[in-house]
Amino acid sequence: MIDQAVLFPEVLTHGFSDRLGGVSEGRYASLNVSAKWGDEPEAVAENHRRIAAAAGFSGTPLCLVRQVHGAAVLRASEVTATSEADAIWSHRDDPPAIVGVMTADCVPVLLADADATVWAAIHSGWKGTVAGIVGATVRVLAEEGVAPSELRAAIGPCIELAAFEVGPEVAARFPEEFVDRRSFAKPHVDLVATVRAQLLAAGVRPENVERVGGCTHADAHRYYSYRRDGAGIGQHLAFIGPAGGPMG
């Protein structure tokens, strides 16, 4: 149901959900976390309840926003019902909040420091990756006094190089080192390597970056994939925040 990294402090619960262990049916089977494409709201609510219970944050609000494939970074305490962003963060001095993003091929990234001063969830699709959403989030956390070298990062399940075929206009927006033009008939982009490089360029230490989970496109049993199945499928949840309520 939930994949976890090993880098984060125990006072923070975190994880990347897969599609197993829920109650949704049909194309949404079974642990879908979004009703945007037509799943029954009651099923989605139950799936959220199961994730929260399994991860130990049933008593803490989950903060989500409308994701728009950009580079906006919002503090959880400032999120409203109409907020749009692709990264959410919180501070231990703020009201307790689990921050989360939803994905179905895009790259989910979780960030936190060893002292659990700050934590963040990032949705880095190809457009957000080009726009630098990961680096923008690291800079926001640095403004709160947490140096990039103190951050730990987990890159969750997403589409990998072998499945991410793109047109030449998209390939041109990525550094050539992350574009494979030889192994396939059309260019393929390595989003995982790109995001990892962006984390390192922002100052996160290589040993503090962990890859969690597999390729969403390649494993239909375990993951949803927009690229593989089109719209009208489920989404995963990447989340991080205080375990069991307020931190002391």
pLDDT tens for the 248 residues of the chain, in order: 999 999 999 999 999 999 999 999 999 999 999 999 999 999 999 999 999 999 999 999 999 999 999 999 999 999 999 999 999 999 999 999 999 999 999 999 999 999 999 999 999 999 999 999 999 999 999 999 999 999 999 999 999 999 999 999 999 999 999 999 999 999 999 999 999 999 999 999 999 999 999 999 999 999 999 999 998 899 999 999 999 743 33
- Note the pLDDT tens digit of each residue in 197-207: 999 999 999 99
Assigned domain for 212 exists: yes
Assigned domain for 245 exists: no
Instruction: Single out the residue of 67, 57, 66 nearest to residue 2, CA to CA.
Output: 57
Assigned domain for 183 exists: yes
pTM, two decimals, is 0.97
Assigned domain for 246 exists: no
Q: How many distinct structural domains can be found in the chain?
A: 1
Assigned domain for 62 exists: yes
Evaluate whether 170 touches 189 at the Cβ level (below 8 Å): yes
Name the phi and psi angles at 88, rounded to 5. -130, 140
Domain enclosing residue 53, as ranges: 2-239
Assigned domain for 175 exists: yes
- Buried-exposed string 158-189: b where 16+ CB fall within 10 A, e elsewhere: bbbbebbbbeeebbeebeeebbbeeeeeebbb
